[in-house]
Structure 1
């Protein structure tokens, strides 16, 4: 039986010809994965496979991306049940993704035993919702209504390293919808 997964790729720039969706899909198809699809143009792929070890999938996909397309970034895998459960629990408590409430989910490659939720207390443009252990994700609401980009991503990398990738809540919803089709 096959399982459905999302590959969330780090550092994808669609302007780079090697990072376009058709090439990214081609790498996963070349690995023998089924039902490969892309969502938006920012490194979101869904696929099905019999393999059920996310760490093995991450390594295998990242090695292929590096060897075939020269993409050094990072690959984070989440299963359909993990992402579906996150959506069903609605950790943003009904907030709507819009200019003043830009909902973000930062996925971590590894679990964080204790996320420092106070790290952004001094940033009036960033509200930390919390850390979600089941999906290994940091949940935040960014205020983009001022025209000033919050320094959130840089600070998050400085604290937790580069084995992370951030998606909007809308993108996570689109990924799950694609996994269900």
Structure 2
């Protein structure tokens, strides 16, 4: 049995509200073990056997059916999340910055996001590659305004990316 982290995209924002207890109940109903939700932003840890693609399809289908929205998740092994957190390349304790980790389920999308990096101002939009992720460390209060913020907000990336603050990821792993 593997330990997984499901990162739901767009939950409890934009009118899509899912209570943590309901989310945990759905994962439990799917037959997963050790189900735990973390914060109210669509983070679920659980244990299961199976292939990533099959688990992802099962979870997304169940979420669509139960909660009535176009569900997209990023599904990562716990060890992959640990690796992403450990490799964060910027000063995660800088109080002036927001340490973000962008998870990508599509290598082409990740490459597109990283290709934007060299054209960005590193003082505004520091971006770096990581193990299956893109790191981003903008100034606090600018996470919706910078060129990179506008890039990752495009609808074409909706089904294949989600971002989490490094502090949230540490809580997920705790």
**TM superposition score category, shorter chain reference:** 0.7 to 0.9
Please report the TM-score for the alignment, with normalisation by the length of structure 2. Answer: 0.84
Residue by residue over 1:54-112, the C-alpha shift from the partner in whole angstroms, topping out at 9 and shown as x without a partner, is 11111110000001111313111010111122233x3225x134541110001111223
Alignment partner, residue 26 of structure 1: 25
- Cα shift readout 1:131-165 (whole Å, capped 9, x = no counterpart): 22x3x2110101015x7843443312439621210
Partner Cα distance (2:143, 2:74) in 1: 29
Structure 1 residues 120 and 20: alpha-carbon distance in aligned structure 2, compared to 1, 3 A threshold: farther
- Which residue is equivalent to 1:131? 129
Instruction: Decide whether the 8 Å contact of 2:84 with 2:133 is kept in 1.
Output: no
* Aligned partners of 2:11 and 2:17 also within 8 Å: no
Q: In 2, distance between residues paired with 1:15 and 1:168? A: 19
Determine whether 1:173 maps to 2:170: yes
Q: Corresponding residue for 1:75?
A: 73
Matched residue, 1:13: 12
Task: Return structure 1 stretches of 4+ with deviation > 6 angstroms.
Answer: none
RMSD: 2.6
Equivalent residue for 1:62, pick from 60, 63, 75:
60
Q: Secondary structure of 2:154's match? A: helix
1:14 is displaced (CA, Å) by: 6.6
Q: Mapping of 1:95-174 within 5 angstroms?
A: 95-97=91-93, 99-112=95-108, 114=111, 115-118=114-117, 121-122=120-121, 124-128=123-127, 130-132=128-130, 134=131, 136-144=132-140, 149-151=144-146, 152-158=148-154, 161-162=157-158, 163-174=160-171
TM-score (normalised: structure 1): 0.81
Aligned residues: 169
Contact 1:14–1:20 (8 Å) recurs in 2: no
